[in-house]
């Protein structure tokens, strides 16, 4: 659906985007991440046709954006961080205005607006002035506007910026629903939202793509250790004695648990070493009941910080 090849953008001697290549398949929801100044906003603006590239190609479903700019722009719905709303219009007036700009045929305007209102669940405010809506509703109107051209691809830049937790959940759920019918590229600084919403992430830093893959795959590639977290009933000395001789063990950290009579145990193992069975038999042999055991997963935040551990990038 989207193929970006050797994309670069120069501003004089400075490269904001440096030889970037990636693809997005039809129906994917892809998180596009990076620190401030990484180059991701520039890349998104090139993808949507707002900026031209210095080098490289953006191909949408076989069409190069430089050769077919109008056709490709018609297939992309773009929601910037601050939607360009006309505050003295009602919701319905604004969506009609967007339809006219996108050259929606007259017979399709009303059903297109109604579908958009229902999809983002703002039908109840259709006749209210935009300036009187909450931030969350304004974001929904912006999302509805991206749908007016019936695009195949949605590019969403910080769609939950400035929203309260309830509004964030509502927009996140809406994006997941939209992902059933659209290809979505989502930029956000709220990393847990990306983890909940996106099937795959691209991480950009200093103008380059530094990671591309599913979260589980990225976590596995970055980890040089594995970690088990346990809650065990018993004495500290007995737990240390039972676990200390296990092969593949790198570190044991034992602390008192908030649960009376229990210990919290963190076991760090060598890469690709699964000690769950060995831990179970060692503790059961020492008559130390395991109250809880789980693997500690690398979070998207840890992946992000590891890959973008620089003080300053370039947008």
Phi, psi of 284 (to 5 degrees): -70, -35
> Could you tell me which residues come within 8 angstroms of residue 56 by beta carbon, excluding any fewer than 6 positions away?
4, 5, 6, 7, 8, 19, 20, 21
pTM over 0.85: no
Q: Which pLDDT value is given to residue 223?
A: 61
Return the C-alpha torsion angle 70, 71, 77, 79, nearest 10: -20
Q: Which pLDDT value is given to residue 216?
A: 78
- Between CA 262 and CA 259 the distance in angstroms is 6
Dihedral sign, CA of 112, 116, 118, 119? positive
DSSP code, position 296:
P
For the chain, the helix, strand and coil percentages under 3-state DSSP, each to the nearest 5? 35, 30, 35
Q: Which pLDDT value is given to residue 217?
A: 81
Helix 276-285 crosses helix 236-243 at what angle (to 10 degrees)? 130
Q: Which pLDDT value is given to residue 313?
A: 42
Q: Which pLDDT value is given to residue 224?
A: 57
What are the structural domains of the chain?
2-220 (3.40.50.300), 224-297 (3.30.70.260)
Least Cα distance to 157 among 312, 36, 70 occurs for 36
Q: Which pLDDT value is given to residue 225?
A: 62
Q: Which residues of the chain have pLDDT under 70?
A: 222-225, 310-315
Q: Which pLDDT value is given to residue 265?
A: 95
Burial of 95 (0-12, 13-18, 19+ CB in 10 A): buried
């Amino acid at each position: 659906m989207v193929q970006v090849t050797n994309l670069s953008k120069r501003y004089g001697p400075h490269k904001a985007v440096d030889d970037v290549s990636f693809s997005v398949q039809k129906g994917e929801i892809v998180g596009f991440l990076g620190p401030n100044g990484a180059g991701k906003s520039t890349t998104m603006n090139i993808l949507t046709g707002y900026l031209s590239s210095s080098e490289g190609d953006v191909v949408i479903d076989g069409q190069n954006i430089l050769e077919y700019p109008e056709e490709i722009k018609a297939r992309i719905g773009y929601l910037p961080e601050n939607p360009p709303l006309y505050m003295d219009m009602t919701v319905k007036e604004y969506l009609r205005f967007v339809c006219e700009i996108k050259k929606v045929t007259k017979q399709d305007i009303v059903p297109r607006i109604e579908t958009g209102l229902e999809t983002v669940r703002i039908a109840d405010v259709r006749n209210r002035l935009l300036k009187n809506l909450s931030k969350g509703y304004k974001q929904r109107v912006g999302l509805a506007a991206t749908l007016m051209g019936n695009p195949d691809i949605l590019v969403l830049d910080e769609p939950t910026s400035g929203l309260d937790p309830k509004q964030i959940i509502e927009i996140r759920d809406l994006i997941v629903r939209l992902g059933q019918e659209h290809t979505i590229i989502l930029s956000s600084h709220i990393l847990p939202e990306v983890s909940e919403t996106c099937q795959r992430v691209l991480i950009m830093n200093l103008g380059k793509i530094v990671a591309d893959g599913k979260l589980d795959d990225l976590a596995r590639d970055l980890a040089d250790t594995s970690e088990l977290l346990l809650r065990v009933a018993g004495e500290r000395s007995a737990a240390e004695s039972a676990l200390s001789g296990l092969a593949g063990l790198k570190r044991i950290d034992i602390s008192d648990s908030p649960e009376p009579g229990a210990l919290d145990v963190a076991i760090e193992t060598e890469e690709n070493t699964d000690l769950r069975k060995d831990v179970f038999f060692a503790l059961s042999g020492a008559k130390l009941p395991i109250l809880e055991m789980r693997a500690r997963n690398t979070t998207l935040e840890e992946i992000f910080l590891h890959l973008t551990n620089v003080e300053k990038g370039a947008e």
